[in-house]
Amino acid sequence: QVQVVESGGGLVQPGGSLRLSCAASGSIFSPYVMGWYRQALGKQRELVARISSGGGTTDADSVKGRFTSSTDNTKNTVYLQMNSLKREDTAVYSCNVAGRWGSSWGQGTQVTVSS
């Protein structure tokens, strides 16, 4: 069983930055993919960024140039550095870890961009 815990959300002003962390523990082994998803109120969940244990990344067009994902495989942790935040980035951000064992979700962390 794989456990996933996110942290780092909060309230930030437009143009500000936040860094989210996603730590996976348990029976996790490479290869795997860790993805950040977000769901704004009244909207469907969407992929924000995805990074594999090998380092390959995929970013949504809406965040390219502003968000950067990175991973620390020694800690089974992925980070999402979010810069130049906009009001439309407000959402619950959730982390998913998928591998040969299946898929696991964290509980999510709220990011609110507001002045």
Using pLDDT thresholds of 50, 70 and 90, give the confidence band for residue 21: very high
**How many CB atoms are located within 10 Å of the residue 94 CB?**
20
Distance, in Å, from the CA atom of 8 to the CA atom of 5, rounded to the nearest integer, reads: 10
- Maximum alpha-carbon separation in the chain: 43
Predicted pLDDT of residue 109 = 96
pLDDT of residue 75: 79
Q: Does residue 43 register a pLDDT over 80?
A: yes
- The answer, yes or no, to whether residue 73 has pLDDT greater than 80, is no
3-state SS class at 87: helix
Q: How many residues does the chain have?
A: 115
Residue 45 has pLDDT above 80, yes or no: yes
| Residue 61 CB contacts under 8 Å (≥ 6 apart), including other chains | none
pLDDT-based confidence at residue 29 (cuts at 50, 70, 90) = confident
For residues 81-109, give the mean pLDDT.
95
Nearest by Cα to 93 from 73, 113, 108:
108
Rounding to the nearest 10 degrees, give the CA dihedral for residues 42, 43, 48, 52.
100
Mean pLDDT for all residues in the chain: 93
